[in-house]
Amino acid sequence: AAAFRALVSVRAEITRREQHLADHGCASIDELEVPPPRLVVVIDEFHALMATHPRASDLLEHLTALGRSLGVHLILATQRPLGIVTGQMKANINIRICLRVRDEADSFDVLGVPDAAHLPPGRPGSGLLDAGTTPLSFRVAVPFAEAVDDSHVHRPRLRPWTPDHSLENCPSIVRGVAA
């Protein structure tokens, strides 16, 4: 029930953003003088959400269709993707990542090719990324059996946040504007 309430809240935010764009005669938040912050919605175990709340499909189809222009981005994660992502969602999801899967059908459902089923099991973290062209292989994690000497790794000095710090004193890249 909490997951569906969260989706209802996301729908309310989408409606608010759509009205804000309409009020300003804009098609995208990028056209606004002061755009709202981008929102990233992460749904883990997407298959379970759809099994328990099938009505969520309509909202997520709407979100995948209009999300980017509204500054709302969606990350869906599931272990069993076969048949759960609708055709309309697939048409609007332009980046897909697939780690090693057991069945070629699961790989094909996510990437359109069976390749993720053939990733080597001895290379944890191996995956394929499809951004609209040929899927690219990558590796996201490399576990180590023994301790790794990371004394040479540069770690930036961090300062605790205090209320008197403002964005005016931050480098422009922190504010989201390239210098």
Measured between alpha carbons, how far is residue 76 from residues 44, 80, 129 in Å?
A: 6, 12, 14
Q: Which residue type occupies 81? A: P
Among residues 45, 61, 104, 168, which one is catalytic?
45
| Predicted confidence (pLDDT) at residue 160 exceeds the cutoff of 90 | no
In this structure, are residues 122 and 109 in contact, taking their beta carbons and an 8 Å threshold? no
Q: Which residues contact 116 (CB under 8 A, 6 or more apart)?
A: 98, 99, 100, 101, 106, 107, 110, 127, 128
Instruction: Work out the average pLDDT over 70-87.
Output: 86
The predicted pLDDT at position 151 comes to: 62
| Catalytic annotation present for 31 | no
Cα–Cα separations (whole angstroms), residue 115 to 39, 45, 104, 135: 32, 22, 7, 9
- pLDDT interval class at 147 (50, 70, 90): low
Report the pLDDT value the prediction gives residue 176, as an integer from 0 to 100. 42
Q: What is the pLDDT of residue 154?
A: 55
pLDDT at 60: 86
50-61 pLDDT tens trace: 888 888 888 888
Confidence class for position 119, pLDDT limits 50, 70, 90: very high
